[in-house]
Chains A and B, each alone.
Chain A
């Protein structure tokens, strides 16, 4: 396929052409309560061609490798059609052509692990959950692995081949009492081997216990609080609320938003540093090249509280007079690369947890996340659980904790950043523009924020 790919892009008559072919090996095991809901392994392959003609993209997605040369012509033709309607053409920032081959290193390659062993692993965690308490009504345990072998060539002479491992584990327990249903879960994901999901019994049991505990937790009272976010939730916050608006494709054709996101603008307290980092071994955002053949970077989005960089593709980098940052990622062969995060985190600060609790008369300790969503400056995320903070002490558990606010205000309202740190990939992934689930990680220390709106009854 390598030769075919090189030849196809070389013969293109478009201004620029790239072709990507992916072969994916994957397996999946899923239990719900006592039912084996999925047990499968399989392979798939598919490709995508993207051509630029006079500043407009034509894209062709296909599964039959024989069609590659024809798809190059088709993408060129579609680009030509679009080009007739373009007033502000796309230009790509220059990058050095590269030749590279890289395959992720793992301790125990899951491709060699028998399906039966994967089943036993998931079944073991499931059993732990089910037997934990009579209040556990149901469970959901899911193991997945995939190895994407991605080959990429473009008409500038770049050729990159990458083997990207991904392994995930999700365990969830549903506890039920008097018609009330509560959930506890743990969700893990790594660019690593089978070893990464072994030995997670403690986390599984903690999830089950949390589901049980939530049955007797009170719903949080809505209002405005000083909140301490635990590292999981602070990581989701920085990804959802801030990371997404630093993805420059969002600004490419949005001039007013570009003015808001001017590099050099103060966005937060001076001890706030936010990073998107391609160099985190064994983590889900880790691969040397993006899907435009651009090498990864470590990009400071916020340094000393000031916006210091954005994440770019080649097109956005040209437009904003920046350098491509290796963030043009595609979730699969069905999609073109768009600007995405890799491993995004708040760097650790200096406060201890005790120092953070100090002086909070009535606050909230919000932990882990069911999920989050943003609409520009507005964000919302659901904590998996929370605790009241009363007179500087962590108090009773509360549930249905949903935090919301304006990201720019919230960054200014950060009061303290903890000296601990945790980077975590979930079993799901990031969604954007119909591309889901993209493997990413989020990370942070504990973070204390004042004036956070919490929904509730």
Chain B
């Protein structure tokens, strides 16, 4: 018997989430292939509403009966469901293109060839560095069905390339890395990724003393999560409802620099976190979070929306804002693709504009500390000193600190014109800021 029908015998309503991941992955360490892996994993999660109460359970490999029983058991000790599962035809929208056969059926031999190419190309210019590469590709088949007649299925492809380059000299060890995850093979621009790495490696050949005090700080796209991660949490409708977001009660307020516009978009064709529907079957859409500095929306899953007395926005994604957990965890509010509207100018323009300052490409300790408040204090993992509008070298033992909300309100000096994908979910241009303090040993 179908699992939903089984659940329906003892519950008013049920929702079944199923995913099947199939793919391959290749790992290179120290310039050499280390392993090739295949994955074929099927996971399921069941939510039920029984006697008005919500229950959840998940399994991989387990039986239908056990899954239904566990969910019902949870419901018997659970709280009243504040929302209902989606019904037939609710919120149907045109589907978003997220499957590319060339990415989904990528051959192991191709991944190996790309890895070897990256190792060789970096080795040509930097023979003494250690190169690690990881590559993967495959498909995820997702289906969400409810006893209320909603049924949505989708095949999504993924392809990713990550390269890490390490320099080990006594007293000076550092590394740069670059990664890109796409859904469509033709979007994986390996040349751009390599160019990016090589640029940072060249900038980093020499060491330079960091500027200290409160110099202008240029966050390259890979450094922007320092400022944007607190927002990804702060714009969660659940954080707002619970009062852990400093944005609570501030819809419509100009809380950011008026040049800032931030959109959470689940519909961008083939973007890394695009999808036609979220993990509750709610169609994704395009949700402005900040419009010209004004707080315009928060993002919601079904439950947070019901608690807050508003509508779900198609942001019910397993793992919550910071991801992780997969089929094992219930959906929670999480952003899809977060896009910051670009301004003008190239990175070189911004470097010239800043005169003397600091470039932040990567930090240690991202997301640690009091992230809700926006406070950050990070070691600059990859950063460069700028003098007279030119990069003069790499900095060491340098920390930046500030508050993301303050910097994005009063400290935005310029927004670059060339956005890049980073952090798996962000599409952002470089940001030139003030109001970030810099401390060096």
Contacts and interface: CB of A to CB of B under 8 A. Distances in A.
A49 to B, nearest CB: 10
A267 B246 CA distance: 44
Contact of A378 (B41, B166, B379): B379
B365 A382 contact: yes
Most A Cβ at <10 Å: residue of B332, B364, B365: B365
B59 A43 contact: yes
Nearest to B67: A42
Given A42-B57, A138-B244, A174-B372, A82 B36 contact: yes
A63 B36 contact: no
Given A90-B34, A115-B77, A404-B397, A380 B61 contact: no
Nearest to A120: B77
A61 B32 contact: no
A334 B35 CA distance: 15
B68 to A, nearest CB: 11
B309 interface: no
A372 B365 contact: yes
A174 B109 CA distance: 51
Contacts of B1: none
Contacts of B292: none
A181 B32 contact: no
A225 to B, nearest CB: 11
Most B Cβ at <10 Å: residue of A375, A377, A455: A455
B168 interface: yes
B345 interface: no
Most A Cβ at <10 Å: residue of B36, B370, B396: B36
A376 B166 contact: yes
B112 A85 contact: yes
B18 to A, nearest CB: 12
Interface size class of A (residues with CB under 8 A): 35 or more
Contacts of B116: 85
Nearest to A118: B77
B168 A33 contact: no
Given A63-B40, A90-B34, A253-B29, A78 B365 contact: no
Contacts of B365: 371-373, 380-382, 402, 404
A149 interface: no
Given A61-B41, A85-B112, A181 B378 contact: no
A405 B397 contact: yes
Contact of A33 (B243, B324, B370): B243
Contact of B30 (A33, A38, A254): A254
B430 interface: no
A3 interface: no
Contacts of A455: 377-379, 399-401, 439
A257 interface: yes
Interface in B362-384: 364-370, 372-373, 375, 377-379, 381
Most B Cβ at <10 Å: residue of A116, A255, A400: A400
A421 interface: no
Contacts of A42: 57-59, 62, 66-67, 70, 328
B45 to A, nearest CB: 9
B243 A61 contact: no
A41 B328 CA distance: 10
Contacts of A138: 242-244
Interface string A55-95: 01111111111010000001100110110011110100000
Interface stretch (B3-11, B151-159, B170-178, B417-425): B170-178
A376 B29 contact: no
A106 interface: no
Interface string B25-49: 0100111111111111111000000
Contacts of A181: 244, 246, 370, 372-373
Interface residues of B, number: 82
A138 B43 CA distance: 32
A265 B32 CA distance: 28
B228 interface: no
Interface in B308-364: 324, 328-330, 332, 364
A337 to B, nearest CB: 12
Contacts of B437: 222, 456-457
Contacts of A36: 78-79
Contacts of A451: 441
B246 A81 contact: no
Contact of B242 (A33, A373, A374): A33
B298 interface: no
Interface in B133-152: none
Interface in B240-281: 242-244, 246
B56 A400 contact: no
Given A62-B40, A64-B61, A81-B108, A402 B70 contact: no
Contacts of B62: 42-45
A291 to B, nearest CB: 15
A81 B59 CA distance: 33
Nearest to A36: B79
Contacts of A282: none
B362 to A, nearest CB: 9
A380 B55 contact: no
B385 to A, nearest CB: 17
Contact of B38 (A78, A137, A180, A376): A78
A412 interface: no
A64 to B, nearest CB: 7
Given A382-B377, A405-B441, A39 B77 contact: yes
Interface in B72-96: 73-74, 77-79
Contacts of A182: 370, 373
B307 interface: yes
B123 interface: no
Given A90-B34, A455-B399, A334 B41 contact: yes
A81 B36 contact: yes
Given A138-B242, A381-B368, A63 B56 contact: no
A45 B41 CA distance: 10
A158 interface: no
Contacts of B57: 40-42
A161 to B, nearest CB: 18
A375 B366 CA distance: 12
B333 to A, nearest CB: 11
A-B CB proximity, top 8 nearest: A253-B30, A455-B399, A256-B168, A57-B35, A402-B377, A45-B61, A59-B37, A380-B379
20 contacts: A37-B332, A44-B328, A46-B41, A46-B60, A60-B37, A61-B38, A61-B39, A82-B112, A115-B74, A252-B30, A253-B32, A254-B30, A260-B168, A372-B365, A376-B168, A378-B397, A380-B365, A382-B365, A404-B365, A454-B399
Given A42-B59, A78-B37, A370-B368, 11 more contacts: A35-B79, A56-B33, A65-B61, A219-B375, A253-B31, A254-B130, A254-B168, A373-B365, A378-B174, A378-B379, A404-B399
